[in-house]
Amino acid sequence: MNSNIKNTIISKIDDKSLILAKNLIENEELVAFPTETVYGLGGLATSDTAVKKIFEAKGRPQDNPLIVHVHKDYDLTQLVCIDFDYVYKLIDAFLPGPLTMVFRGKGNVSKLVSCGLDTLAVRIPSSKGAQAFLKAVNLPIAAPSANVSKHTSPVTAEHVYNDLNGKIDLILDGGKCEGGIESTVLDVTCEVPRILRSGLVTISMIKKVVGNCVYAENKQTDKVMSPGVKYTHYTPKCDTILFDRKDYLKAQNFYDNLVKQGKNPYFLCDDIIYEKLSGNHLSLGITGEEIASNLYYRLLEGEKIADFIIGITVDSGSDIDNGIMNRMSKACKKA
């Protein structure tokens, strides 16, 4: 038997499991925990050993930096420099919540967290489970999404187990993550904040609070980029294809042809466009919030029951669509 194989347990969040989580973290082991966006795979951010284990467990590329998570009463200035006053407005408006900010780091966590960059991404998640875990450990926790690299991000403890069983000791079970897509990543090292990854805190919400905000183009020449955006992501373990919603008739045709070949396809789409289609449906709902909340859950359901997922682009009218389409177009192959 391989002694590296761990007996992974899933536990609800209570005093006993929080003590175990704290012990594991202090011993440089990993703990998966729920947040309001997706489950995170947490390790002690100040430990090279723990951070290396995160990269190994996920099979994550070595140049894709991690976000450090802290509880709501943690003093961020222990970790980062706040260079612009607008950051305080963002903290007031959105934290705790699904907004990660990239600051100049102070060098107080393992260098492996930021993969050699001089910046550090920090986030204060809002979910009860995340806060309970972070309060119990009272230490900065480096955590990417708790999936094997490239696979769809997990939104339940069972999803985490399916990817990381045998690789980690503990999964704290806080039920289904309501947000459903990862946090917005915002570069706050410049005068105008720049969105590196879209999420539930949208450009219009940020503009309302600080006046201005732009999308980063993630060019090689940018001072701060989000290295993660260049990688394949979120892909389920079955065939996929993505159609534009104006091409819904082509999508129906594609579906019908698969059925003729004896295949079992499912549409992955919002309920508005589904009214024009017929066949199996992984329902995403109607509003931007609903669609974000359902996206990974349905992709992970789909990979179990479908042999082909036919995605259709969404148009909920909300600028959350930006974050949704960023994920959906990586999860599904282009038609």
Binding site for ligand TXA (CB under 6 A): 35, 37-38, 40, 64-67, 98, 100, 102, 114, 117, 119-121, 123, 125, 143-145, 182-183, 185, 196-197, 224, 226-229
Return the one option of ligand TXA, Mg ion, none that residue 66 interacts with (CB less than 5 to 8 A, by type): ligand TXA
| Residues 44, 318: Cα–Cα separation, whole Å | 37
Q: Are 265 and 258 in contact (CB under 8 A)?
A: yes
Nearer to ligand TXA, 47 or 114 (CB): 114
Tell me how far CA of residue 212 lies from CA of 109, 209, 221, 323, in angstroms: 31, 8, 22, 19
Burial 193-222 (b: 16+ CB within 10 A, else e): bbbbbbbbbbbebbeeebeebeebebeeee
Instruction: Point out which residues bind Mg ion (CB under 5 A).
Output: 145
Nearer to Mg ion, 145 or 240 (CB): 145
Return the one option of Mg ion, ligand TXA, none that residue 121 interacts with (CB less than 5 to 8 A, by type): ligand TXA
Return the one option of ligand TXA, Mg ion, none that residue 114 interacts with (CB less than 5 to 8 A, by type): ligand TXA
Nearer to ligand TXA, 112 or 251 (CB): 112
Calculated CA dihedral for residues 79, 143, 287, 328, nearest 10 degrees? 120
Nearer to ligand TXA, 121 or 242 (CB): 121
Nearer to ligand TXA, 70 or 251 (CB): 70
**Shortest separation between residue 321's beta carbon and ligand TXA, angstroms:** 18
**Shortest separation between residue 41's beta carbon and ligand TXA, angstroms:** 8
Nearer to ligand TXA, 145 or 313 (CB): 145
State phi, psi for 312 to the nearest 5 degrees: -130, 130
Return the one option of Mg ion, ligand TXA, none that residue 67 interacts with (CB less than 5 to 8 A, by type): ligand TXA
**Shortest separation between residue 210's beta carbon and Mg ion, angstroms:** 26
Residue nearest to Mg ion (CB): 145
**Shortest separation between residue 162's beta carbon and ligand TXA, angstroms:** 17
Nearer to ligand TXA, 129 or 228 (CB): 228
DSSP 104-144: EE-S-S-TTTTTT-SEEEEE---SHHHHHHHHHH-S-EE--
**Shortest separation between residue 185's beta carbon and ligand TXA, angstroms:** 5
**Shortest separation between residue 56's beta carbon and Mg ion, angstroms:** 15
**Shortest separation between residue 177's beta carbon and Mg ion, angstroms:** 13
Nearer to Mg ion, 16 or 237 (CB): 237
Crossing angle for the helix pair 321-331 and 288-305, to the nearest 10 degrees: 20
Return the one option of ligand TXA, Mg ion, none that residue 293 interacts with (CB less than 5 to 8 A, by type): none
Q: Are 322 and 203 in contact (CB under 8 A)?
A: yes
**Shortest separation between residue 220's beta carbon and ligand TXA, angstroms:** 14
Dihedral angle sign, alpha carbons of residues 314, 216, 235, 261: positive
Residue nearest to ligand TXA (CB): 228
Q: Are 49 and 56 in contact (CB under 8 A)?
A: no
Q: Are 321 and 314 in contact (CB under 8 A)?
A: yes
Task: Determine how many CB atoms are found less than 10 A away from the CB of residue 2.
Answer: 5
Q: Which two tokens stand for residue 54?
A: 């995160």
Dihedral angle sign, alpha carbons of residues 88, 43, 201, 176: negative
Q: Are 263 and 308 in contact (CB under 8 A)?
A: yes
